[in-house]
Amino acid sequence: MPTTPAAASEPYADEPYADEPSTDVPYADEQRRVLLRTARDIADDLATDAIVRDQAGKPPVDETARLREAGLPAALSPPLPGGGADWRTGCAVIREVATADSSLGEILARHYAHSWNVRLYAGHPHASALEEEAVREQWLWAGTVRAPGAEPDTGGPDLTLTPIASGHVLNGRRPVATGVTVADQFLVDAVCAVTGDVLVVRVPAGDPGVIAEPAHDRLGQRVAGAGALVMDGVVVEPRQIVGHRPQDEESTAPLTALAGPALRLALCHVGLGITEGALIEARDLSRNARVPGPPGDDPDLLLAYGELASAAQTAAAVVERATHAMARALNTGTELDPEEPAAVDALVALAETVTTTAALHVTTRVLELADAPGLDRFWRNARTLTAHHPATHRLRVIGDHYLNDRRRTAARADL
């Protein structure tokens, strides 16, 4: 049975740096402590049967029920009067849960990012009522909103909206990474067949035209609930249209440009959780190994764990820097400088690069240091989480911003 990660997790994300003021929206200290304590309790619970659930690979029905019972879907929303979570606190919750179960960490990461998407695409005043309803009903968000220019070259859009008297009719098929059978609301972008506008729309999971196709036999992230959505004549009322997705990065408002990097950064915290979870579990296995003498007497073992701990802490520091930058940008809101998203995007790309390297290295190396059933799940989860985000593009984003000082850089990734 894997050990619970809470005691070994670093509380970096719930405390601001001592030498700079907090950049978060004001958030009551007691509420912050309660939310982080809840996340640790959930992590402890998930860790007890993580291996069994990974081996079963079933849709996360029971797991998401645990999240709902703890109130995490409602808590992981943008800051609202009396509720929500500032960016750093939300990411701390995601990382805490991911250390115990990265599939559930990814579910929460994408849910939190989509919660922010409502505000980033619709604007705060228009989004307030929808955000309050989502919190009140404890909606779990899933779906895929693509960045401008990220559409696949398939000869046409995969989701289309056809105008009718009462709104639009949505048809097509869209892959989703989490919660295909357990989410309450799906957020997707679709192209209007008449105007060519790209609209971000909200689709209730219970609509009779929504068909969920869960993925089976995944290499990793087996409990994330990945799959595809088939939209068959789904009627989209005007109130379900969240906003317009810009056609290209030049026409994207600065605040809206944060939508893609925000999700990618939230997933960096999932990657950190995988890295730390693997290291913690391997460390405890090494401590309990039945070999002559304590583990501390083996200089090669000390060297190995020193290297891995350094890699994990380096990745955490880089991700923390990007997290601070994202928090500042989100808090600035509509007054955000047009050049700021490019700087944030470059920091997120750097965080992705370092986290991916650390996650793959640590999860591979621990298999050489400890031998126990289930330890391979960390490597499988890391591979699956990072497989669709090639390092080449991230490095080009970093280099373009550094060398050319681009005002905008856009990640080409499915969100």
Strands 141-144 and 185-192, sheet pairing:
parallel
Instruction: Answer yes or no: is 221 within a domain.
Output: yes
Instruction: Answer yes or no: is 155 within a domain.
Output: yes
As to burial, measured by CB atoms within 10 angstroms (0-12 exposed, 13-18 middle, 19+ buried), residue 374 is middle
* pLDDT given for residue 151 in this prediction: 63
Strands 185-192 and 159-164, sheet pairing:
parallel
Residue with tokens 């719930």: 14
Strands 198-204 and 241-245, sheet pairing:
antiparallel
* pLDDT given for residue 57 in this prediction: 96
* pLDDT given for residue 394 in this prediction: 84
Amino acid of residue 101: D
* pLDDT given for residue 154 in this prediction: 61
Amino acid of residue 31: Q
Tell me the CA distances in angstroms from 402 to 249, 325, 412, one per residue in order: 19, 16, 18
Q: Identify any residues that bridge with 175 across adjacent strands, giving them in sequence order.
A: 228
Q: How far apart are CA 318 and CA 415, in angstroms?
A: 22
Q: Tell me if 369 sits within 8 A of 381, measured CB to CB.
A: no
* pLDDT given for residue 23 in this prediction: 44
Q: How far apart are CA 355 and CA 392, in angstroms?
A: 14
Instruction: Answer yes or no: is 156 within a domain.
Output: yes
Q: How many domains does the chain have?
A: 1
Question: Which CB contacts under 8 angstroms, 24+ apart, belong to 388-391?
Answer: 388/413, 388/414, 389/264, 389/352, 389/356, 389/413, 391/353, 391/356, 391/357
- Written as six digits, the tokens of 8 are 């070994």
Instruction: Answer yes or no: is 255 within a domain.
Output: no
What CATH number does the domain containing 172 carry?
2.40.110.10
Instruction: Answer yes or no: is 413 within a domain.
Output: no
Provide the residue-wise pLDDT of the chain in tens; the chain has 415 residues: 455 444 333 333 333 333 344 444 444 688 889 999 999 999 999 999 999 999 999 999 999 999 999 999 999 999 988 789 999 999 999 999 999 999 999 999 999 999 999 999 997 667 899 999 999 999 999 999 998 876 665 667 899 999 999 999 999 999 999 999 999 999 999 999 999 999 999 999 999 999 999 999 899 999 999 999 999 999 999 999 999 999 888 889 999 999 999 999 999 999 999 999 999 999 999 888 755 556 567 899 999 999 999 999 999 999 999 999 999 999 999 999 999 999 999 999 999 999 999 999 999 999 999 989 999 999 999 999 999 777 788 888 888 888 887 654 444 444 4
Q: What is the pLDDT of residues 362-392, one digit of tens each?
A: 999 999 999 899 999 999 999 999 997 777 8
Residue range(s) defining the domain that contains residue 229? 143-246
Residue with tokens 């020193």: 306
Alpha helices in 123-220 (DSSP H): 124-137
* pLDDT given for residue 101 in this prediction: 98
Q: Identify any residues that bridge with 236 across adjacent strands, giving them in sequence order.
A: 168
* pLDDT given for residue 28 in this prediction: 64
> Where would I find the beta strands (DSSP E) of 114-270?
141-144, 159-164, 167-176, 185-192, 198-204, 210-214, 227-236, 241-245
Q: How far apart are CA 214 and CA 65, in angstroms?
A: 18
Q: Identify any residues that bridge with 214 across adjacent strands, giving them in sequence order.
A: 227
Instruction: Answer yes or no: is 164 within a domain.
Output: yes
* pLDDT given for residue 11 in this prediction: 32
Q: How far apart are CA 268 and CA 260, in angstroms?
A: 13
Q: What is the pLDDT of residues 114-156, one digit of tens each?
A: 999 999 999 766 789 999 999 999 999 999 999 887 666 566 7
Q: How far apart are CA 234 and CA 410, in angstroms?
A: 31
Instruction: Answer yes or no: is 175 within a domain.
Output: yes
Q: How far apart are CA 52 and CA 356, in angstroms?
A: 26
Instruction: Answer yes or no: is 200 within a domain.
Output: yes
